[in-house]
Amino acid sequence: MSKAFPLVLSLSSLDVARDDPELVEGSKDELGRSWFDRLTTSGAGVLALTVLAATACNRTPETPRARNLVLITIDTLRADHVGAYGYARAQTPTLDELARTGVRFDRAYAAAPITLPSHATMLTGRYPPGHGARDNGMAMPAVPTLATVLKAKGFKTAAFVGAFPLDHQFGLSRGFDVYGDRLGRDATGRPANERPAAQVVDEAIAWLTSLPAPPAPPAFFLWVHLFDPHAPYGDASAGRSVLERYDEDIATADREAGRLLKALGPRTDTLVIAASDHGEAFGEHGEYAHSIFVYDTTLRVPLIMNGPGLRAAVVSDAVTLADVAPTAARLLGVDLPDVNGIDVSATFSGRSLGTRELYAESFAPLVEFGWAPLRAVRSGFWKYIAAPTPELYYLERDSAEQTNVVSGQEVISRSLSQRVNQFSGDVLAGPGPSTDPKVTERLRALGYLSASQSATTRADPKDRRERAGHVGRAPGRRTDRRARRHRA
C-alpha cells in the first residue's frame, strides 16, 4: 500500500493533507485552498469562483477571438468510441477532423451523467447546485447562460434539440431567439420524445440560411443537440451487437454534424465546440445506460474546440463541462458571470491549468428512487464518491474504479468528504422535479423516472444495482424509433 499511495502515507494530519499540492491538487495555486475555503454553499461558491475565473481570463491576453459560436452536443457519446480518442472501429470522421485541426481535451468530465443537468452546466458554466436543474424534469431557474449573455450583446441565437429532456419548459430556451424543440409525433400518434439528427440539422441549416448575408452578417450562436446514440441503439432486427448499433448511431450523429459544418462554409471566424453530455455504460459497475452512478464510464466525455487562432493540441489537464461556457465566452470576448468553471484557453498554447478539483453528481438516485444521491470530487488522480458507503479511487492505477481504498486512506477520504460537502449537501433545496404527470410520463418513456419517488430510506445506489443499473434502457421505443429512422 505504501508503494501505491506514497503521498498519503507521508501525511500526518488533515491540515497537512490539505496543503500538499500533489495530494490535494490546487491547494497552493490560484485555484486552490482559498478557492475551496470560500466555498460554503453553491451560491457562495459561484460568487467566489467568479473572481477566480476572471483571474484566469486575465492571464491569457493573447487568446484568439472568434465572432460566432457553434456548439454541437452529441448525446450519450463515450469519448472512447470516437476515433480521435483512439477507438479503432470509430466512424467519426467529422469529430476526428475537428480534433485533428483543433484542441482535443483528453480528460473532460461531465458534472452530471444526465441530459438536462449536464447541458445546463455546459450553457451556464455552473455545477448543478449552481443552476438548479439537478435531474431531468427539474426546470432551471433564470440564471445567466451563454445564450442570454450573447443575445444581450446582439448575437443572433438559435438552438435545435433532439429530445424531450431539453424541452423549452425546462429553462434552457432562455436567450435563444429560436428554440427548435418540436419533436412531432411517433408512429402511434403520441407526442414523440426524440427525433433524428437529420431533422435537427435540417432546421439548423435552414436557420443559418435565414441569417442576413454579407456585407453585414450578424454574429451568431447556434447550439445543435443530436440524440441518436441514446438507447435504444439502432435497428436490432439485423442481429448486430449492441456496440455495433451504438457505433452506428454515433456515426449517424457524426455524419449529420458534418453536414451542419459543411453548411457553415469556411469557418474563419466561428468557434466550433463539440462535446457529449455524458457517456454510456455497457455493464461496467453493473450499470447499463447512464444517470445513476458517477463513475467515469458515464462522466468522461469527448470535448473538442476548433476555431480561429486555435492550433492543433491535445490537452491532458482534467477539465469539466462547466469550463465550456466560460471558455467560449472568453473566446467571444464577453463575460459570463457567476460560474464554477474556468476559462481553459491557456491550455491552447500548452500551458497547464495547474491542479484543480472537479465536482460531479447524480441526484437521480434521490429524485427517482428516494436513494442517497451520489456526489464526487476529483482531485488529481484521486476521486472520492460520497455515498452511504463512500468510495475512493486512485485513478492513475485504477482508471476503471475497481478498488475502493477508503479504508486505507482515511486522511484523504476525510478531506475530500469535506470538500464534496462544500460543493453540495445531500439534500435538494427548492422545488423538486416536475409534478406534471405528462412530463413524468414522457421522461419515463425515455427511461427516466422509472420508480416511485416516495421512498423514505436512503439506500446506497450500489446496493440497488439490480434496479439502478438498468435506468435509461427505455424498452418499448424500438418500433417507433425505427419508423422515424426510416423516414429520415
Residues engaged in binding Zn ion (CB under 5 A)? 75, 115, 277
As a whole number of angstroms, the distance between CA 248 and CA 115 comes to 21
Confirm if 103 and 351 have CB atoms less than 8 A apart: no
Between 17 and 251, CB nearer to Zn ion? 251
Q: CB nearer to Zn ion: give 195 or 419.
A: 195
- Closer residue to Zn ion, CB minimum distance, 315 or 324: 324
| CA-based R_g, the chain, Å | 21
Rounded to a whole number of angstroms, the minimum distance from the CB of residue 132 to Zn ion is 18
Q: How far is the CB of 110 from Zn ion (least distance, A)?
A: 9
Q: Is the dihedral of CA 436, 438, 444, 446 positive or negative?
A: negative
Q: Using the minimum distance from each CB to Zn ion, give the nearer residue, 75 or 317.
A: 75
Given a contact cutoff of 8 angstroms between Cβ atoms, the answer to whether 127 and 121 are in contact is yes
Side-chain half-sphere exposure of 237, counting CA atoms within 13 A = 6
Q: How far is the CB of 376 from Zn ion (least distance, A)?
A: 18
Q: Of the two residues 115 and 297, which places its CB atom closer to Zn ion in the complex?
A: 115
**How far is the C-alpha of 212 from the C-alpha of 202, rounded, in Å?**
18
DSSP letter string, 62-90: T----SEEEEEEETT--GGGSGGGT-TT-
CA separation for the pair 25, 355 (Å, rounded): 5
Nearer to Zn ion, 17 or 275 (CB): 275
In the complex, minimum distance from the CB of residue 113 to Zn ion, in angstroms, rounded to a whole number? 8
Distance in Å, CB of 174 to Zn ion, minimum: 20
Q: How far is the CB of 394 from Zn ion (least distance, A)?
A: 29
The nearest distance, CB 108 to Zn ion, in angstroms, is: 15
Q: How far is CA 296 from CA 87, 158, 285, in A?
A: 17, 31, 11
Which residue lies nearest Zn ion, judged by its C-beta?
115
Compare residues 67 and 481 and give the one whose CB is closer to Zn ion: 481
CA–CA gap between residue 238 and residue 435 (Å, rounded): 40
What's the closest the beta carbon of residue 58 comes to Zn ion, in angstroms? Answer: 34
Q: Where are the beta strands (DSSP E) in 353-440?
A: 357-362, 374-379, 382-386, 391-394
**C-alpha grid cell, residue 42:** 453553491
Closer to Zn ion by CB, 92 or 345: give it. Answer: 92
* Residues paired with residue 226 on neighbouring β-strands, in sequence order: 74
